[in-house]
């Protein structure tokens, strides 16, 4: 099974961790299954950007980005060239490394109040 290395995130995963998930699993589902409580405001249907991750290794091994995902990603906080919506990013057979951005769009908005 491919491994997902998660880089440290102050709240969700302070030490960083490595998990395993079956090919065909979305990164979002894999994280949630391992109690890494990434935001997923729309429930994984590509209608928010709260599940945004930056893929630091293995980006090209994931399924291709579809247009819907690209459109949504444009609104994500802290967009990077290797950003994905984790609910749309499906593991194939290679390991990946992901970084969960410091903020999701929901938190960024709350922070502005």
Positions in the binding site for ligand FES (CB under 6 A): 28, 40-42, 44, 46-48, 50-51, 72, 85, 87
- Which residue pairs, CB below 8 angstroms and at least 24 apart, start in 8-17? 9/99, 9/100, 9/102, 10/102, 12/36, 12/37, 12/38, 12/100, 13/100
Measured from the CB of residue 33, what is the shortest distance to ligand FES in angstroms? 15
Identify the helix (H) or strand (E) that includes residue 97: strand 96-99
Q: What is the DSSP letter of 62?
A: S
Output the CA–CA distances (angstroms, integers) from residue 67 to 12, 27, 71, 99, in the order listed.
29, 18, 6, 22
Nearer Cβ to ligand FES (36/42): 42
Nearer Cβ to ligand FES (1/41): 41
Measured from the CB of residue 22, what is the shortest distance to ligand FES in angstroms? 19
Nearer Cβ to ligand FES (13/69): 69
Nearer Cβ to ligand FES (1/45): 45
Measured from the CB of residue 69, what is the shortest distance to ligand FES in angstroms? 8
């Amino acid at each position: 099974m491919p491994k997902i290395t998660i880089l440290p995130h102050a709240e969700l995963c302070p030490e960083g961790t490595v998990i395993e998930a079956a090919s065909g699993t979305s990164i979002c589902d894999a994280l949630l299954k391992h109690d890494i409580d990434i935001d997923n405001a729309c429930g994984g249907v590509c209608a928010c950007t709260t599940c945004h991750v930056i893929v630091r290794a293995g980006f090209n091994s994931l399924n291709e980005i579809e247009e819907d995902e690209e459109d949504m990603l444009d609104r994500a906080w802290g967009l990077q060239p290797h950003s994905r919506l984790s609910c749309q990013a499906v593991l194939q057979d290679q390991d990946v490394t992901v970084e969960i951005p410091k903020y999701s769009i929901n938190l960024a908005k709350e922070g502005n109040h």
